[in-house]
Amino acid sequence: MSKIRVATRGSLLALTQTGMVVDRLKELNPGSEFELQTFKTVGDKVLDVALSQIGGKGLFTKELEDALLDGRADLAVHSLKDMPTEFPSGLVLGAVPEREDPRDVVITPDGKRFEELPAGALVGTSSLRRVAQLRAQRPDLEYVPIRGNVDTRLRKMEEGQVAALVMAAAGLHRAGFTGRITEYLDPSFCLPAPGQGALAIEIRDSDSRVGQLVARIHHAPTALEVMAERALLARLEGGCQVPIGAFATFDSGLIHLEGLIASPDGAKVIRYEAEADAGRARSLGVQVAEWLLAHGGQEILASLKA
């Protein structure tokens, strides 16, 4: 087989995640050769503005997708939560590997838990979804945007720019920073982003050779979970500008999904959960989204678009 060209972002975490995928593909496809090609996305270049303020879709994916479409790359590795719910014409989701821990975590330099932070403490996070939920619990704290690589954010905290960080557990685990985690936040306290903890392997829909190769690392339970979460996201038409959470679990043939939409100030947090047969994962996502819209979510979305 000829060399497989793999598109990835150039950050420490992206390269680590892509390396894990490539190692697994090599293991299951001995004899195949892989070549990494790194790209800088809009989200990588604009670091002094919160994601919610940049606008647009595909902030971390477009440049990789362009490389797939024009033939410079054969597959791309993404964090699934960064991917828009609609794929460009000609591209498809080729595989979803087994998910890492989907929860959010708190990191503090002195071991203080979130509930122990003093009033007025600065909490750094890049996510409007996290801010809305955390502000609902602790309106006495100050939440500030903090972007950059995992190690960059940790350094900023050590320098005293913030008293705490709230980040995704999965990235810290994969990048080797598990020991820095102070506290895991239960989904009942802070619902994760749709697709959080999962990776996505994107390919050209016409490339059956690469499709067969990546299918060997596809994890069906994870794919069902993120299908439900992304269906909810698609129905709410949400992106980085809307505080939306979704977390699905697959067990014994059933998918359980909890969804959330909140106002950015945390004053309104609407949650709903439901369960369905795994074969109805996508329709379950739509069902939960419809309930959220009918019980105050529509007003939140309208206010954000005004």
Domain containing 239: what range?
233-305
Look at residue 42 and tell me whether its pLDDT is greater than 80. Answer: no
Give the residue-averaged pLDDT of 40-60. 60
Residues 250, 206 share a domain: no
pLDDT digits (tens, 9 = 90+) for 204-250: 999 999 999 999 999 999 999 999 999 999 999 866 678 999 999 99
Give the residue-averaged pLDDT of 74-98. 94
Residue 269 resides in a domain: yes
Tell me the percentage of the chain whose pLDDT exceeds 90: 81
Number of domains in the chain: 3
Residue 82 resides in a domain: yes
Residue 186, Cα to own-chain centre: how many angstroms? 16
Residues 156, 71 share a domain: no
- CATH number, residue 285: 3.30.160.40
Residues 130, 49 share a domain: no
Residues 206, 61 share a domain: yes
pLDDT digits (tens, 9 = 90+) for 253-286: 999 999 999 999 999 999 999 999 999 999 999 9
pLDDT (0 to 100) of residue 286: 98
pLDDT (0 to 100) of residue 47: 52
Q: What is the mean pLDDT of the chain?
A: 92
Residue 225 resides in a domain: no
Instruction: Select from 239, 232, 175 the least CA-distant residue to 43.
Output: 239
Instruction: Select from 170, 162, 159 the least CA-distant residue to 143.
Output: 162
Residue 193 resides in a domain: no
Residues 296, 167 share a domain: no
- CATH number, residue 41: 3.40.190.10
Query: Which entry of 48, 66, 70, 82 is annotated as an active-site residue?
Result: 82
Residues 207, 86 share a domain: yes
Give the residue-averaged pLDDT of 107-130. 96
Look at residue 194 and tell me whether its pLDDT is greater than 80. Answer: yes
Residues 77, 10 share a domain: yes
pLDDT (0 to 100) of residue 52: 54
Residues 52, 12 share a domain: yes
Residue 72 resides in a domain: yes
pLDDT band for 23, please (50, 70, 90 cuts).
Answer: very high
Token output for 220: 């069906």
Q: Is 82 a catalytic residue?
A: yes
Residues 94, 8 share a domain: yes
pLDDT band for 149, please (50, 70, 90 cuts).
Answer: confident
Residue 226 resides in a domain: no
Look at residue 57 and tell me whether its pLDDT is greater than 70. Answer: no
Look at residue 45 and tell me whether its pLDDT is greater than 70. Answer: no
pLDDT digits (tens, 9 = 90+) for 134-143: 999 999 999 9
pLDDT digits (tens, 9 = 90+) for 283-297: 999 999 999 999 999
Look at residue 51 and tell me whether its pLDDT is greater than 90. Answer: no
The angle subtended at Cα 241 by Cα 65 and Cα 115, nearest 5°, is 115
Residues 89, 16 share a domain: yes
Residue 122 resides in a domain: yes
Residue 224 resides in a domain: no
Residues 180, 111 share a domain: yes
pLDDT band for 54, please (50, 70, 90 cuts).
Answer: very low
Residues 119, 93 share a domain: no
pLDDT band for 126, please (50, 70, 90 cuts).
Answer: confident
Look at residue 128 and tell me whether its pLDDT is greater than 70. Answer: yes
